[in-house]
Structure 1
């Protein structure tokens, strides 16, 4: 219905959003037989933008807020880091290197929450063998991302929430440990939106901590720090209090 509404009001001199841009490109290409700019493709892309580009990020933010009420000392540490580095200034990506605690916290949230434990299915373009196993062309293949995130050989004590695992001896974000993390899957077909997601997570969380103290609704009965696995691994529904600073 939304696509049809855009088509009725379409004005090539007033392109407002992604759907308008897609319709504009479809019109420009005309009736090319091999064009991928079809109504079906537009519907699929919009679904993927919401499913892969919105729900995953919003769920990670929810996990971060849940972690902040479970680990109030880390909340204080993050706020002190932010206050020292940028105060109440609007956070920018250039500030990230001066906020190693914030980055380490986000990385541990991504590891612990494991929002997309099986990534997105892929399929090989031709038959191939791996470790003696044949994968015929077109076989549905998923990455068991959980097998990395919770591997004690890669991340010691994986069941514990420990942002400090991503900090080195002098308090900088540990690049070597960070490289082992694969919340956006791995390989050349990893998540195309990971750069945007990393920016959103850093900017949103930093701003939250500048404006609010995040408190549990019931301090003596914290919501469980665990998720419900569906399309993504979502935290269970919970209530919290945002106290304006």
Structure 2
């Protein structure tokens, strides 16, 4: 399994429009963060989790030429806005793109992308196959995916575990029952928005505490805002088995 973090930024991305803080002015490529998304390649199949506003740019940057399925964690725009660009894969692969999400999220996609789902579609619009999922394991192109139900303030969100890899974004609470699904993961990617508490995201201290509790072999922090600080400085504050993620980071299992 090869995992590539396509984007590691919060909903505004980094740099933030109009901001002159030292992070937004940084020349370090690791401080340039597109909206969160991840590419998982496993046994010859190519899965994407979340297609945000930067989806097209991410596909081009990583030269991804095939996508077999698209999974959504939740319906917020910074996770869904780029779904239109899956039409390039429709054309290349001659398939309707399988999309997996909670029924609530699928209904929101049908509303936001209503032109895809009308009875008289315009030529060239994306073609998708909607697959509702519940909080129980499901199969995607031959791979078992285990949803992990987390809370994003009052909004239910799914994290996903595929083999020994667990990916959780946009969370500030995980129940004990759902934590049990994460335990034993070799790699955990977890959101850590900033150092100060936040109403709907784990802060850096909260994320580090949870990582210590769950004890993955390696953890990476994602969904990072400019308020967290410069990548090179925050990295020095972390335990050896925890790293800040950055756009384009890839690792294998």
**TM-score range with shorter-chain normalisation?**
under 0.3
| Structure with the bigger percentage of helix | 1
TM-score relative to the length of structure 2: 0.21
TM-score relative to the length of structure 1: 0.22
Larger radius of gyration: 1
